[in-house]
Amino acid sequence: MKRGADGPANVPAINCGLAAPGARLHPPSTLADLYDLLTMPAPLLKAHQELDRAVDRCYRPDPFPSDRHRVEYPFALYEKITAPLVAAAKPKRERG
């Protein structure tokens, strides 16, 4: 299976992402109530944990050690693929 956000590996992530909103159905809770780590309903927590694992597998076979690493990884990939574009767009300074 191809790894990467644009390959078939992202299908489980899409499916898990679609399940998360359904897990939020706990009226009359607000989003602040639902996403409080101390009071988050178990089904919502489980849905987000499954989503995290699915997203992790889109990028690499092993899970990320933390949420911070999970967020930093795609930004690093973005910087890597856009660095040549940024370098090419910089105007050359004339010596005078």
- The confidence score (pLDDT) of residue 20 equals 62
Find the mean pLDDT for residues 56-79.
92
pLDDT value of position 77: 93
User: What is the number of alpha carbons within 13 Å of residue 72 lying toward its C-beta?
Assistant: 6
Task: Show Cβ contacts of residue 1 under 8 Å, excluding neighbours closer than 6 positions.
Answer: 7, 8, 9
pLDDT digits (tens, 9 = 90+) for 2-56: 444 455 555 566 666 666 666 656 667 788 888 888 988 888 889 888 888 888 9
Neighbours of 23 (CB within 10 A): 19
37: which 2 tokens? Answer: 């780590």
Question: What is the average pLDDT across 57-62?
Answer: 89
Exposed, middle or buried by CB within 10 Å (0-12, 13-18, 19+), for 51? buried
- The pLDDT of residue 80: 94
Stated pTM of the model: 0.58
Radius of gyration of the chain from Cα atoms?
A: 19
pLDDT of residue 65: 92
Q: Which two tokens stand for residue 11?
A: 């299908």
